[in-house]
């Protein structure tokens, strides 16, 4: 008997011998048998699936040589053109093979991203399209990156609610229906002024005061609920502010810690929109992406929780500026505080307790403040020198 999934809730009801069309969710022999049954058993339906495949561009080829294979088929990073997604896709492609990882977003990709591996348009608010992508490409892992961040979220609450909450519901349902392993990033922003702030443990009061934070607490709780209720393989890390050299932040409270490096190398001056003493947890992007892959690859029995804090360092704008000064002696920082961002930062953790991640699946960061500053200035320094030479 062939049964196709409807929105979540069907999986527990399927009796023995039922076969679903979610072939990407099955493995090994069961996968081969199921595909045979779906195609044979469904008759012309199977032919329609084949025909649809032929009509679509082949966005996902399986198994490239020299790379490890994902169980089943491929991974998808959606919301992938932001600060973190392109770097994540690069890391996953190195590990699993270029064509086994699909990047998607609603924006047009720049040339170098478009030519670096499969890219498709996908709106997180279009549930049917998400399902089609998962089914047609036999997706087994999804990294759900689309979101409006803290500052832009406060500027457009209805859109943040739609993308961060309705979008989340869509991806949770598709993932549960098709038995996917689902990564959703949370954030230091999932805590609020009544949480312990120095340090902030994994389990404590979470009463954030931004739509971003509220949507992330909702994501943590819904993911954990789907894990208990439907067996969804949900994995979540609460990231600190992420600092990257070759990608721009998308409108968050921690963006100053990326912009300072551009400005220090271009003009030797930087105007900071947070107070000099505002302490926040931060992490270099390489550590963030490695943590993401490590928690996704961790055996389930090592995970005593499904949502973990991860941390690397914690600093204030003043401390960061002192470190920059060691490399750029003429550097000057001034302060012009943005009250919206300052209020958000004042409600967030100052230090993050990530001892559970370190104990359970061996999390360890590589970059502390001095290495971060050297790496960022080297990148921007060489960038500026190339621009000047040109």
Ligand X SMILES: C[C@@H](O)[C@H](N)C(=O)O
Ligand Y SMILES: NC(=O)c1ccc[n+]([C@@H]2O[C@H](COP(=O)([O-])OP(=O)(O)OC[C@H]3O[C@@H](n4cnc5c(N)ncnc54)[C@H](O)[C@@H]3O)[C@@H](O)[C@H]2O)c1
Write the interaction track for ligand X spanning residues 216-245; mark x where CB under 6 A is met and - where it is not.
-------------------------x----
Q: Interface residues for ligand X in 165-194 (CB under 6 A)?
A: 187-189
79 binds, among ligand Y, ligand X, none (CB under 5 to 8 A by kind): ligand Y
Q: Which residues of 5-35 are buried (b: 16+ CB within 10 A; e: fewer)?
A: beebebbeeeeeeebbbbbbbbeeeebeebb
3-state SS of the chain: helix, strand, coil percent to 5?
A: 45, 15, 35
Contact between 107 and ligand Y by CB under 6 A: the answer reads yes
Q: Interface residues for ligand Y in 132-161 (CB under 6 A)?
A: 145-147, 149
Q: How many CB atoms lie within 10 A of CB 268?
A: 13
Bridge partners (DSSP) listed for residue 2 = 19
**100 versus 122: smaller Cβ distance to ligand Y:** 122
Residue pair 272/254 in contact (Cβ under 8 Å)? The answer is no
- Angle at 367 (CA atoms; ends 66, 202), nearest 5 degrees: 95
For residues 349 and 188, what is the distance between their CA atoms, to the nearest angstrom? 6
* Stretch of residues binding ligand Y (CB under 6 A), selected from 32-40, 170-178, 238-246, 303-311: 238-246
Bridge partners (DSSP) listed for residue 182 = 142, 234
Q: Is 212 a catalytic residue?
A: yes
Contact between 252 and ligand X by CB under 6 A: the answer reads yes
Q: Interface residues for ligand Y in 163-182 (CB under 6 A)?
A: 163, 167
Contacting residue, 109, 252, 317, 349, with ligand Y by CB under 6 A: 252
Contacting residue, 20, 83, 100, 195, with ligand Y by CB under 6 A: 83
Contacting residue, 5, 85, 117, 192, with ligand Y by CB under 6 A: 85
Q: Which residue out of 121, 127, 145, 212 is catalytically annotated? A: 212
Contacting residue, 8, 92, 149, 243, with ligand X by CB under 6 A: 149
Contact between 85 and ligand X by CB under 6 A: the answer reads no
Which candidate, 35, 76, 27, 71, places its Cα nearest to that of 53? 35
Q: What are phi and psi of 181, to 5 degrees?
A: -90, 125
Which candidate, 102, 93, 88, 86, places its Cα nearest to that of 67? 93
Tokens 């047609």 found at:
136
To the nearest whole angstrom, how small is the minimum distance from the Cβ of residue 190 to ligand X? 8
Q: Site residues (CB under 6 A) for ligand Y?
A: 78-79, 81-85, 105-107, 123-125, 145-147, 149, 163, 167, 185, 187, 239, 241-242, 249-250, 252, 254
Q: Site residues (CB under 6 A) for ligand X?
A: 149-150, 187-189, 212, 241, 252-254
As annotated, the active-site residues are 212
């Amino acid at each position: 008997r062939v049964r196709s999934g409807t929105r979540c809730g069907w999986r527990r009801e399927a009796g023995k011998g039922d076969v679903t069309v979610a072939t990407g969710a099955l493995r090994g022999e069961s996968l081969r048998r199921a595909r045979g049954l779906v195609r044979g058993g469904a008759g012309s339906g199977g032919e329609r699936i084949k025909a649809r495949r032929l009509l679509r561009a082949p966005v996902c080829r399986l198994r490239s040589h020299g790379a490890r294979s994902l169980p089943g088929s491929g991974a998808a990073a959606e919301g992938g053109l932001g600060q973190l997604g392109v770097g994540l896709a690069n890391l996953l492609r190195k590990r699993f093979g270029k064509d086994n990882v699909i990047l998607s977003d609603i924006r047009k990709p720049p040339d170098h991203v478009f030519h670096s591996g499969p890219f498709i348009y996908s709106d997180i608010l279009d549930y049917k399209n998400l399902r089609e992508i998962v089914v047609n490409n036999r997706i087994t892992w999804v990294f759900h990156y689309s979101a409006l961040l803290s500052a832009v979220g406060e500027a457009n609450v209805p859109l943040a609610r739609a993308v961060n909450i309705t979008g989340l519901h869509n991806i949770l349902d598709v993932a549960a229906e098709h038995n996917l392993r689902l990564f959703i990033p949370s954030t230091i922003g999932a805590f609020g002024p009544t949480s312990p702030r120095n340090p902030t443990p994994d389990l404590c009061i979470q009463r954030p005061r931004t739509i971003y934070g509220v949507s992330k607490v909702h994501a943590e709780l819904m993911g954990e609920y789907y894990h208990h209720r439907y067996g969804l393989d949900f994995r979540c890390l609460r990231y600190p502010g992420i600092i990257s050299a070759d990608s721009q932040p998308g409108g968050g409270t921690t963006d100053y810690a990326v912009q300072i490096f551009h400005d220090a190398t271009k003009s030797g001056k930087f105007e900071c929109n947070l107070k000099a003493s505002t302490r926040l947890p931060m992490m270099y992007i390489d550590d963030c992406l490695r943590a993401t892959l490590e928690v996704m690859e961790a055996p389930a029995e090592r995970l005593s929780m499904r949502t973990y804090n991860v941390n690397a360092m914690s600093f204030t704008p003043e401390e960061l500026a002192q470190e920059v000064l060691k490399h750029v002696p003429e550097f000057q920082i001034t302060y012009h505080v943005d009250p919206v961002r300052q209020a958000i930062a004042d409600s967030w953790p100052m230090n993050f307790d990530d001892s559970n991640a370190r104990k359970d699946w061996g999390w360890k960061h590589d970059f502390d403040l001095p290495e971060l500053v050297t790496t960022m200035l080297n990148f921007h320094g060489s960038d500026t020198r190339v621009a000047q030479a040109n």
